[in-house]
Amino acid sequence: MAQQSEAQITDEARAILNGSVVEDVDLLLRKVEKFVRRYVVLPEATYLPIALWAIGAHAADRFDCFPYLAILSAVKRCGKTRLLEALEVLVPDPWRGTAPSLAALYRMLQKKPTLLLDEVEAFNGRNKSETTQLLLAVLNAGHRKGATIPRCEPPRHEVVHFNVYGPKLFAAIGRLPDTLTDRSILINIKRRTKAQNVARFRQVSAATEAKPLHAGIARFAGTHQAEIEQAYERTLEFDLDFLSDRDADLWTPLFAICSIMDADRLPELKRCAVTLSAAKADDDVDDSYALTLLRDIRTVWPDGEDRLETAIMLQRLKALEESPWGEPDHSLTARKLARMFRPFEVEPRNIRVGDRSPKGYYFVGLKDAFDRYLDEKCATSATSQ
């Protein structure tokens, strides 16, 4: 009996040396969460998704698309860079930095790193340079597998297609461009209070601490490739119908990983997904202000009324708190309102109000736009359900 136990121990030690043993994966998931908690204070709903994202980054090639992670704060010194540093020692082939040139970016992405890009608020300027627009185009393309960027390479100027797919994380003060937001799971963080203590991050000691975690994640991704692909297909069939179509695409890899590592935590992950996607929907404002206008009109429209005068509509829109419609840059007039409605095929009409026939809008004319652009399957409806 003693000889058998000794042989088993020898076999286990040999397997560990060969890198073929994967520890209990549910424990591995919790250890990754605990590592992140040790150095950064985040909203409670974000720890599990962040841990799954770091683990999923090792298996990104198993998925059709992989979500970007966007770390946002209202002001500096909220822990964005610290989170990037903590994830850097967990993810595969990390590159952490700021402001890469366009040529450097697509050549770097060809090698499939995990991109940890800080200070991305530079993309938010309204008058973006041509270089900034090209950088943004490369990043926009890279969340879906198979995306490439064609470039002519010297000396013969032959066309080379650079692969740009792979896991990416962006940190910024304020907002991201809408195109990146649409491809990201958003994590909004605040500056921690004095009562919220975290460990001091030392690069060398943190890397040493994370080394067995990184090795365990890599072994999990390597030995469970078939299971990950099967779990991904099952999750695609399940459809995550409590999320919008785009958010369901983004969250599917994380649900697939979670179903393998700790299926008992899937309800918890669902709550996290609904919470973060709802917050993202609340923050999602279209640059053209057209969707904002539709949302605000639905807010000010009187319950049960089938028509509304243009003058009263404008008055109510400008009275909304935190509304842009009364500001000099966006002050609405009847003519501007009609112009903004044109893409939605909505036109002002003469409406009957008592003995008057002022210009206005019928609810039936706006309802199609509300249904198409505001009432899509989304996380906010899942929250109410």
| 169 and 116 Cβ atoms separated by less than 8 Å | yes
- Residue located via tokens 């890397």: 207
pLDDT reported for residue 156: 83
- Per-residue pLDDT band for 22 (boundaries 50, 70, 90) equals very low
What confidence category does residue 29 fall into, taking pLDDT thresholds of 50, 70 and 90?
Answer: very high
Element (H, E) at 307: strand 307-309
Sign of CA dihedral 182, 341, 333, 302: negative
User: What does DSSP assign to residue 162?
Assistant: E
With contact defined as beta carbons under 8 Å apart, do 56 and 254 qualify? Answer: yes
What's residue 279's pLDDT?
Answer: 81
Instruction: Tell me the per-residue pLDDT of 130-173, one tens digit each, with 9 for 90 and over.
Output: 888 888 889 999 999 998 989 888 888 899 899 999 999 999 98
- With a pLDDT cut of 70, the percent of the chain lying above it is 88
8 A C-beta contact, residue 173 and residue 184: no
Say if CB 351 and CB 357 are below 8 A apart.
yes
**Could you report the per-residue pLDDT of 306-364, keeping only the tens digit for each?**
999 999 999 999 888 777 787 765 678 898 888 888 878 888 999 998 889 999 999 99
Q: pLDDT of 247-305, one tens digit each?
A: 999 999 999 999 999 999 999 999 999 999 988 876 654 445 677 888 899 999 998 89
pLDDT, averaged across the chain: 85
**Is the distance from CB of 338 to CB of 332 less than 8 angstroms?**
no
Alpha-carbon gap, residue 184 to 120, rounded angstroms? 13
Above pLDDT 90, what percent of the chain? 54
Confidence class for position 1, pLDDT limits 50, 70, 90: very low
pLDDT of residue 4: 39
> How far apart, in Å, do the first and last CA atoms of the chain sit?
58
Provide the CB-side half-sphere exposure for 102 (13 A, CA): 13
Task: Convert the pLDDT of each residue in 38-56 to its tens digit.
Answer: 999 999 999 999 999 999 9
pLDDT of 14 over the 80 cut: no
Task: Report the alpha-carbon distance of residue 383 to residue 10 in Å, rounded.
Answer: 52
